[in-house]
Each structure stands twice: as C-alpha cells, then as structure tokens.
Amino acid sequence: MLATTEALSTFPIARIRSRPGVPPIEVALIAQLGHGSGDPLIEAARMRQRGHEAFIDALDEPSARIGGIDVESGDTTSLYTFTVGAAGHPFHRHAGHRVFTAISGSAGAQLRFSTASAEQIARDPGEFISALHHVNIPPDCLFTARFGGGTWHQFVPLQAGSRIPRCSHCRATRTNSAATSRRSCVAPSWPTRRASRH
C-alpha cells in the first residue's frame, strides 16, 4: 500500500467525497496533546458525563445532553457529550448532519465511514464495503469531524482494548420532528476483517 507524508503549516484535513446531495466527510487534526494525556482526559470527562442529570447509557455510546434545542428562538441545534468504549460501537447512521470535536485516547482511534446509501445497500450489500473509508487518528490528539445525515459510521480503537475518542458533539435537529432527527439505524454486523479500504 502506498504511503506518503507531507509537512503542512496548517491543520491536516481528510476530505471524503460522499454521494450526490450529501456533504463530504471532513476530519481535521487541531492539536497534538501531551504524550499519554488522552486517556486521563477521557476518563475524567467520562466520570463527569456519568454524573450529569441527562446522562443516558445506550447503543454502546454513553452520552449526556448538555444543551437542548430552543425552537421558539429558532435554534434547532443541540449539544451532547459522548464516549465510546474500548470495544467501539456498531456501524450506524443518523438522520441529521453531525459535527463533533473529540480527543483521541493514548492509543489513537480509527473513524470508519461508508458513503453508500440505504438504496444501494438494499440492492447489493457489497456496496457498503465498496464505499468504506478509514481515517486513522494519532494518539492524544484534538480533532474535529463533520459528515452528512445518513452517513454510516463507526469509531474503534487503533489497538484492541484501548480507549477511543471522548467527544463533545453538536448536531442539528429538525424543527418539525426532533424525534425523527435523533433516530439511529444500526447496520448488520459487517466483518471487520473485510473493512480494509482506506
């Protein structure tokens, strides 16, 4: 596999083109934290998240809503924190766009995205794998990610058993149906060993 390295004077950004009508997937490295600092930062935040009154432990992605929508003021965004455990979480998607800022654990993280649509997968499940992309995040980093609604995604550690991102997650919701925009669909258990496309 060809590997290249390029020195940049600004934020390194990975952009993945999505299907027509859906924004590209964008992942940007913002800062390198101190060596080994990712895990203790994540653990401290995880404990604060668990103590929040809006804490929910579900879908392999414990979260807390720290800012809700205000429809009367025209604000249709909400703010969540979330963590992903050492085993990662299954591929899933959301109706609305997602933007989040995260800290990677001290072993790094891998973000996996499939740009295949539900219609493509229904016709041929292999389209999911054909449209699969990986973005590797170095250890102990602050990074951001943005992707469109309906994008299948999964976050896993680069090393088995290690911690992966703890995120502050800002997401847009629909004014006509907040419940619809929060709905998640979990994909079948796709074999990790086949997910080799970068």
CA distance 141 to 43: 15
Note the CATH number of domain 13-176.
2.60.120.10
Global pTM?
0.78
Q: Strand, helix or coil at 5?
A: coil
- Summarised one tens digit per residue, pLDDT across range 15-58 is 999 988 899 999 999 999 999 998 898 888 889 999 999 999 87
**Cα dihedral 162, 166, 172, 173 sign:** positive
List the chain domain ranges: 13-176
Helix, strand, coil % over all residues of the chain, rounded to 5? 20, 35, 45
Which residues, in sequence order, are CB contacts of 126 under 8 Å at separation 6+?
A: none
- Summarised one tens digit per residue, pLDDT across range 100-146 is 999 988 888 899 999 999 999 999 999 999 999 999 999 999 999 99
Q: What is the residue-averaged pLDDT of the chain?
A: 79
- Summarised one tens digit per residue, pLDDT across range 48-106 is 999 999 999 877 788 898 888 888 998 888 888 888 866 667 888 888 888 899 998 88
